[in-house]
Structure 1
Amino acid sequence: MRVTYLYTATATLADGAAVEQNFGGCDVTVMGGDQIRHIYNFMGTVNILNTSQDSGLNALNIGCPDEVGEPFTHRRTSRPDNDHRRHQEPQKLGWVAKRKRMKELEELLKSPFEKIGFQNARAMLTELQDLKGAVNTDILLKVTECEMHLQSEKAHSSTNNLQDYICNAESKSSSTVLKMAAAMYNDKCYARAVIFFKISHELRKHEKRKDQGKEPKWIGDRVADIYRANEAMVDVGGSYRKIVVNYGVKYMEDLLDDLRRTIPCESRALEEASCLVNLCAIRLRISEYKKSIEHAKEGIHLLVRYFKESAATYKRYAWLHYDLGLAYHATGQRSKAKEVYQTAIAAAKTSVNYEQIDRKRFVEITEKMIKKLS
């Protein structure tokens, strides 16, 4: 395949005549001499073919690396009497400059993105990817993180591109991606951890597994993982809090929807209730009280439907009432808040799933909340 360029060359012939030609990737023929001595103002590769010494015909072939000829790659800017000077080849010079720029970008990107700005970081990552001429997980992940911080419409498509690359180009398993997510969380890279927790679940959905009965537990654990990362980002604040609002909570709800597509059973009901506890709690942290009330009521009704009178023996039941009380309290519904707080205390005292120290701490915290209502 020929790449087309547009250049202007000046050829000085043996008899001293000068011929200027415009060419764009096609052969240029210069008549009037037995050879072409010099070419000025040119950046590129020229093959000089002495096709006919007798007739004095010379051909300039531009951008044709597959043709036979004498390569002429120097940039001639000097007069003919300075031919002895050594000139660098543009292709090698370009590669050196490219390598230098890549090192500069990699060094700059070692700084926290909050310091250099997420928009600047995204631009540098895109440039680095173009210079490398290939994608990799690290660049795709960091670009996705920047898109999230900037609340860009491309955030979801960037996440999908990252997922496709991990799945198809690198063939990583869900367990491998999960370990990477846990490492990111431990390194306090919470946004990246959320992305990878979500991707680990998406990869697992497409894996053929013999332990399909463990899917509710897997999904419940991933919702809990994303909740912890979301909670940490809310504490950090700023654009991290916006990531939780725009993406983190949505990821938790997506996993809950997948959980509800599994076979109904008591273990699934318990995991679903756990997911609703975490959703209710994170909604409280971002001041979405109406949604928090909806999640709490949904979880309570779910447990009652499956376990009847014994629903109160599960600590999820107590926590759902406690979170519901917080939401009522925050919205000024004080009498309702006091009522559900008292129900939460009663459930905690009868729960068989509580360690004694946890039960005592829960009761003390809830009683303090009741006192604040007075």
Structure 2
Amino acid sequence: MTWLDLPDGTGFGITNLPYGIFSTPGTARRTAVAIGDRVLDLAAATGDPVHATGTLNAFMARGPAAWGALRRQLTAWLTDPAHRAAIEPLLSPRADVTMHLPIEVADYVDFYSSRHHAENLGRMFRPGTPPLTPNWTHLPIAYHGRAGTVRVSGTPVIRPAGQLGAARFGPSERLDIEAEVGFVVGMPSTPGEPVPVDAFTAHVFGVCLVNDWSARDLQAWEYVPLGPFLGKSFLTSVSAWVVPLAALEAARVAPPARDVELLPYLDDSAAPWGLDLTLEVRLNGELISRPPFKQLYWTAPQQLAHLTVNGASLRTGDLFASGTVSGPAGDQYGSLIELSWNGTAPLTLAGGARSFLEDGDVVTITATAPGPGGTRIGFGEVTGTVTPAPRRAPA
């Protein structure tokens, strides 16, 4: 229990304590922890300059022992009334602060780990053939994205323009969402040394929400033979709050059964890290999907192991995302290309039919997970408003 008066049903209770970067008018960016509808200024509470750097990177680089020590300290401060007089003045209403990108993103990798999503796209674009490519059940497929265009929730989504086909240029007409979960690397690794699945918690600091906006028409024209490029690189949105792995122990579940025997470096059976997260996707305030993350075929430790098995090293601030999360039912798909079945079955919404995003549309993704003692862990939200493409023409 905490001495704070928390809102009913808050996902930011004492069992969560997510980290973010905030500022107030006239002050510099610094680290905060969310508790209920307030934020605790860690720079002021701890006196540690690592929390006044304007990013979580320096603190994350201290490693799991430091992460655990601060979590224990925060729990003590917020549960023992003896600390109330010192801590309460350092709390600010969340509504009164501005949130910023929580990490300085080093590298960004996006996986393709939802079987239902991959099969749906396979059925759309390769009818009459097996929906999964032959390698899909053997390794976590991914592409290397653009770290420089990862932005915090609330950043406007400027409609991208590009080649829409041979000798045709213009704004994307098939702008889409991808409801995803991201994992933030705190501890780097040594170049040339793969990170095994059982070292996941030694390197990964926490979890956030991701919307990897996608221009499906740009993507369709450019992706052969090297995969996504301009159809993805214009913007990736992340939530302002990073939930520490320590808050998610009660959410751990076994992943779905695998079709083939995995190579030893991908065997996570000794310590499975499937997560029972339920995402909710809203378009202009209307709930359109509830993707279940626990059905993801490839887990985050497997993704991390595959990401480094060739000797590629981790850096503090690396972000790797799950790829679109979709379930088996039509109201569990994590993208509009699935929800509208590539535009052949538009969604009927209060504001009109939608196959893909229109200018002015607002997309919000939230998520919760079970916490200890029947509590719920919240992840905040990742939201974005689509704005028109600027007038431009190719050189």
TM-score bucket (shorter structure): under 0.3
Superposition TM-score, scaled by structure 2 size: 0.23
Report the structure, 1 or 2, having the larger strand content: 2
More helix by share: 1
Larger radius of gyration: 1
Structure having greater relative contact order (Cα 8 Å, sep ≥ 6) = 2
